[in-house]
Amino acid sequence: MEHIGILEGREKQVFEKKGGIETSDIACETSSLSGSVSQRACVFCGSRVVLYPVADAIHIVHGPIGCAAYTWDIRGAVSSGPELHRLSFSTDLQEMDVIYGGEKKLYLSLIELIEQYKPKAAFIYSTCIVGLIGDDIDAVCKKVAAETGIPVLPVHSEGFKGTKKDGYKAACFALMKLIGTGSTEGISKQSINILGEFNLAGEAWIIRKYYERMGIEVVSTLTGDGRIDAVKRAHGASLNVVQCSGSMTSLAKDMEEKYGIPYIRVSYFGIEDMSKSLYDVALHFPEHPEIMEAAKQVVSEEVKKLYPELQKFKKALTGKKAAIYVGGAFKTFSLIKALRSIGMSVVLAGSQTGNKDDYRRLKEMCDEGTVIVDDSNPVELSKFILEKEADLLIGGVKERPIAFKLGIGFCDHNHERKIPLAGFVGMYNFALEVYQSVMSPVWQFAPRKGGNR
């Protein structure tokens, strides 16, 4: 096979675990190299991820058409009621707007859409070009808010002004403006907000039920199946439970500072981490031992159902190797554990946006020989997948064709998944999906398996 090298300037973002734990840190949290085919998106994408599931608000992308067209109904974030988030609104800037400014078009668009859809709020995303032509979207938002009486929130997400993480922050900033504006009356002391859970394929509902079975009140889910009114009263909760990646930690921090609400980080993937996320919440209410009792009850009931089911998959999958490349590093930890519980090892672990601590922890967790990458690209991913003889790739839509081309199984663990992978039932779905992909007989025809004629 032809030799594939690592792109110059990226060497420090790739690491292979050999002979114990190395001390030097992996380089990360940098912007992508020009000319590399990064799997990352942009600031706007980060904001869109976080705010998208708010279903009773309209989301207007201020810019030329592409940014809105490519994100129309793109995620599997489901709503139990209104579905305004599934529509795509754009100011669709034309040449004249670029020359003379798009403020007027934005204003008219807002007025017209608010009148037509009667949303509870509006989010206005500024894209790259708006950052250049210098529209004062804050002023427009203020004006429209005053005229329509609903919150109209600017989200400064110009694609080039940072990375996806900055987009998360911009979104959290907009949410922070809503939080604290609603009444907290009647909220129980044993209450939480679920942060960083976007209700993909209904996952937030699954998680919410577990907490409710423990006697916990869920004040607000940010932002899965999100409603503006629920966001407004989120400051009434006693604890913020933040899932995974960095997407919403900044909001949790801000809420801690402003409202004194502590937060914990959890993950809902895999038996181990899912159980821990219930216990950790229970631990927060020590004066209510019944909550811990209930948590144990939930875990034992669920695991009793799940465990025997998993054995069948484990039997088939033991010894198979997986490569993981997902958005946030936190999810990688859970996936490594989840894969181990079905007999699989991990030969490549990477993320688009991990930080130094994440990678340090990854290094500790991983087996000898595992490759760890930050902000990788298709060439590199393929190189390691083949070299390490992976049987499975876990990633998002952009990684899927790489896996299938090379003739290996694939599991979509990104924002577009259609099957819930969180919670105990999600672990079952995950194992099933991995099993169905890895064990498929179609790979016998793959060149990798000698299927070339």
Contacts (CB under 6 A) with ligand SF4, residues 115-144: 127-129
200-to-157, 271, 418, 447 alpha-carbon distances in Å: 23, 19, 7, 35
How many Å apart are CA 194 and CA 422, to the nearest integer?
A: 13
| Minimum gap (Å) between residue 121 Cβ and another protein | 16
For residue 371, give the amino acid letter. Answer: V
365 phi, psi to nearest 5 deg: -70, -35
Interaction between residue 110 and ligand SF4 (CB under 6 A): no
Q: Which of 102, 154, 159, 270 binds ligand SF4 (CB under 6 A)?
A: 159
| Minimum gap (Å) between residue 268 Cβ and another protein | 25
Q: Which of 22, 80, 100, 108 binds another protein (CB under 8 A)?
A: 108
Q: Which of 44, 52, 210, 330 binds ligand SF4 (CB under 6 A)?
A: 44
- Tell me how crowded residue 6 is: count the other CB atoms within 10 A of its CB: 16
| Minimum gap (Å) between residue 74 Cβ and another protein | 8
| Minimum gap (Å) between residue 102 Cβ and ligand SF4 | 13
| Minimum gap (Å) between residue 70 Cβ and another protein | 4
Minimum CB distance to another protein smaller for 299 or for 392:
392
Q: Which of 16, 25, 29, 32 binds another protein (CB under 8 A)?
A: 32
Q: In the window 387-446, what residues touch another protein (CB under 8 A)?
A: 397-398, 400-402, 404-407, 445-446
How many Å apart are CA 424 and CA 306, to the nearest integer?
A: 7
| Minimum gap (Å) between residue 69 Cβ and ligand SF4 | 8
**Mask 323-362, x = binds ligand SF4 (CB under 6 A)?**
----------------------------------------
Minimum CB distance to another protein smaller for 45 or for 271:
45
Interaction between residue 90 and another protein (CB under 8 A): yes
Interaction between residue 14 and another protein (CB under 8 A): no
Minimum CB distance to ligand SF4 smaller for 162 or for 215:
162
Residue written as tokens 């994100």? Answer: 71
Q: Which of 26, 51, 57, 67 binds ligand SF4 (CB under 6 A)?
A: 67
Minimum CB distance to another protein smaller for 68 or for 255:
68
Minimum CB distance to ligand SF4 smaller for 128 or for 252:
128
Minimum CB distance to another protein smaller for 180 or for 407:
407
Q: Which of 22, 72, 189, 436 binds another protein (CB under 8 A)?
A: 72
Q: In the window 122-141, what residues touch another protein (CB under 8 A)?
A: 128-129, 131-133
Binding residues for another protein, rule CB under 8 A, total: 79
| Minimum gap (Å) between residue 55 Cβ and ligand SF4 | 23
Interaction between residue 379 and another protein (CB under 8 A): yes
Using the contact rule CB under 6 A, the part of the chain among 59-67, 95-103, 195-203, 266-274 near ligand SF4 is: 59-67
1 binds, among ligand SF4, another protein, none (CB under 5 to 8 A by kind): another protein
Minimum CB distance to ligand SF4 smaller for 101 or for 343:
101
- Tell me how crowded residue 286 is: count the other CB atoms within 10 A of its CB: 9
Residues that bind ligand SF4 (CB under 6 A): 42, 44, 63-67, 127-129, 159
